[in-house]
Amino acid sequence: MEPFEISALVGNKMERLTVVPQNDAQEQSEYDVYLGSRKARIWTDFSIMGLEWHSADLIAEDTLRNIGLAIEGYDA
Amino acid sequence: MEFGRPEKDILLIDHTLPADGRVTAQVLSAGAAERTKFHVGCAKWGRKEWVGHLYPDKTPEKEFLTEYGKRFDTIEFAASFFTRPDRESMVRWLDRVKLAGNDDFMFIPKVSKEISHISRLENTGELLKDFISAVEGFGPHLGPMLLQLSDSFGTKYFERMKNFVEQLPKEHRFFIELRHENWFSDETSRRKVFELFREYGVGTVITDTSGRRDCLHMELTTPDLYVRFNGNGEEHQAHDRQRVDDWAHRIADWKGRGLKNVYFILSQTKELDTPALAAYAIERFNEQLGAGLKSVVWNP
């Protein structure tokens, strides 16, 4: 899958982010998300609530959710 | 660019439904079906924005699916696209729906992107077998499966597509969404791929989104309609509803010519208004087509 761009609310500001899918991830979806030179790796998993987004990087919960929803919207 | 996002003013785009495709004329020719079954739903259930609006105030996230199941009969289940599904998770979600007491509820799982986008249908036999085994955890609530192909999966992959379709298990039903423009613009490829689907009893997805009107191919390869309807919402809500009305007219025609199932899945870029649009579709289909769907109950 090729890199793509999304718009997502980061803090209080709508930002344009570059998303690089990690194609070697098999059981789940993994993406590197870039805002300028800042990078976060995020990935999906299931919970009773449905699809959930996770990251080991320092990223606010709301921001992670917004980025995840934007990726879901892109791929939908 | 985000798939289907329009590059120009939405009102400048011709949203008229095109004439029936060539294969549709072959498939729908046997007279009226005894009964056309309708399935209308959304592509998500877990939106916090719907609490207090669709779901009761203070509904916790773990109860979203149960609340959704009280209001709709169908969900297009996209989580299985992003993460390889496991049977235990499917059973847990099924349990949430059972709490809704909705015996008619149907999950339409989206085939994992490992199969569609990463392996691109090549050597996917084991992956597909595992996928199906997992989603069979939905038991009698398992509906057809949606296979969406990338917009970079074009006509040069026809042979790969053919091999894949030939090996699909007959005991399950599949609908395939094509996105690469060549499937629609090249008449030979278009005819070949839709004939292939018809021959093997595989359904097609008709994608109705403002930015990609070529995906509105109007080809039915089985006597079943699967529409992925993307509304524009906000100031375009009345226009979205007009588009739904147009679908009701077309479905009325097809219903009289043997259409058996309608799967009508709604989404919007900003999902806040999606339940209202889905509720409108249900009302229209009930009034005009005798769909017999239950009306959506809003948070009082």
pLDDT on residue A25: 66
E-strand ranges in B27-173 read 37-42, 74-77, 106-109, 145-148
Total domains in chain B come to 1
**DSSP states of A33-76 as a string?**
EEETTEEEEEEEEEETTEEEEEESSS--HHHHHHHHHHHHHHH-
Mark out the alpha helices in B136-185 (DSSP H runs). Answer: 158-166, 182-185
**For the segment A19-59, what is each residue's pLDDT rounded down to a tens digit?**
999 877 677 889 999 988 889 999 998 888 888 899 999 88
Query: Do the interacting molecules here have an ipTM over 0.90?
Result: no
Structure tokens at B200: 């093997």
- CB–CB contact B78 A1 (8 Å): no
Instruction: State the pLDDT at residue B88.
Output: 94
Are B43 and B76 contacting, i.e. CB atoms less than 8 angstroms apart?
A: yes
Cβ atoms of B41 and A45 within 8 Å: the answer is: no
Encode pLDDT of B185-241 as tens digits: 999 999 999 999 999 999 999 999 999 999 999 999 999 999 999 999 888 999 999
CATH of the domain at B57: 3.20.20.410
Q: How far is the C-alpha of A13 from the C-alpha of B96, rounded, in Å?
A: 36
pLDDT at B13 over 80: yes
Q: Which residues constitute the domain of residue B219?
A: 10-149+156-289
Whether residues A74 and B2 touch (CB distance < 8 A) is answered with yes
- The separation between CA A25 and the C-alpha centre of its own chain, rounded to angstroms, equals 14
Contact between B256 and B262 (Cβ < 8 Å): no
B81 inside 8 A of chain A by CB: yes
CB-based contact, B127 to chain A, within 8 Å:
no
Q: Cα torsion for B53, B98, B44, B222, to the nearest 10°?
A: -130
Residue B230 belongs to what H/E stretch? strand B224-231
The whole-number average pLDDT for the span B55-73 is 95
Q: Using the beta-carbon criterion (under 8 Å), do B118 and A45 form an inter-chain contact? A: no
The angle at the Cα of A49, spanning B237 to A27, to the nearest 5 degrees, equals: 105
Higher-confidence residue of B250 and A22: namely B250
Residue B187 lies in a domain: yes
pLDDT tens digit sequence for B135-181: 999 999 999 999 999 999 999 999 999 999 999 999 999 999 999 99
Q: Residue A50, CB half-sphere, CA atoms under 13 Å: how many?
A: 26
C-alpha–C-alpha distance, residues B81 and A40, integer Å: 22
Partner residue opposite B79 with nearest CB, options A27, A50, A74: A50
Sign of the CA dihedral B284, B289, B293, B294? positive
Tell the residue number behind the tokens 């917009």, with chain if given. B151
Determine whether the interchain pair B96/A48 forms a contact, defined as Cβ–Cβ distance below 8 Å: yes
pLDDT at B1 over 70: no
What pTM was computed for the model? 0.94
- Residue B49 belongs to a domain: yes
In a domain, B4, yes or no: no
